[in-house]
Structure 1
């Protein structure tokens, strides 16, 4: 499989319930093969010139790179934060069998 065809997108969420709701919507819309919900992430960030420490949940979303822009838009439209964290990186190497699951589960964009 060629490098960069698939990506992992990371999204922080305020809690597990919001994470589950968003994960189910992502899956129902065929934007990912899997969403891992990782609890108890401590985030320290700067907002309006103030340092803040929060407990959050991390979503780790596996998808096609060609669908990342749609995924980002979808997350922004369904996320409770105004400036939600949605960052993505290409998968350079991986188990071919698992990567094929992404191809089989996440439709390619029709041109």
Structure 2
């Protein structure tokens, strides 16, 4: 089983809500929220600036497609940033924890 990290920026006020939904659905083992991201971009021919949170979503390839589909469904942006990074190495103990985390049914 290969591990991936999905990078996704989200509005600050919705970051925890989105993270909890992904975890509750067992689509991610761990999500790191990095606040203070400032994104500059053009949207509809206008230069925009947004305060965002960078999400690092740890998952496996088995759950990748359902994760991406659900993330697109719940994300508030019309065109969300969703980038998948394959991981070349993962500590075997951490890998076991990820596998277990994606299988366990827990309450939030």
TM-score (norm 1): 0.85
The CA RMSD measured in Å over matched residues stands at 1.3
Contact 2:39 / 2:50 at 8 angstroms: preserved in 1? yes
Structure 1 residue ranges (4+ consecutive) displaced by more than 2 angstroms after TM superposition: none
Equivalent residue for 1:44? Answer: 40
- Runs of 5+ consecutive residues of structure 2 not aligned to the other structure: 104-108
- Alpha-carbon distance, 1:66 to partner: 2.1
Instruction: State the number of aligned residues.
Output: 103
The reply on whether 1:29 has 2:25 as its aligned counterpart is yes
The reply on whether 1:10 has 2:7 as its aligned counterpart is yes
Match runs of 1:82-93 below 5 Å: 82-93=78-89
TM-score (norm 2): 0.87
Structure 2: distance between partners of 1:49 and 1:90: 33
Structure 2: distance between partners of 1:45 and 1:69: 27
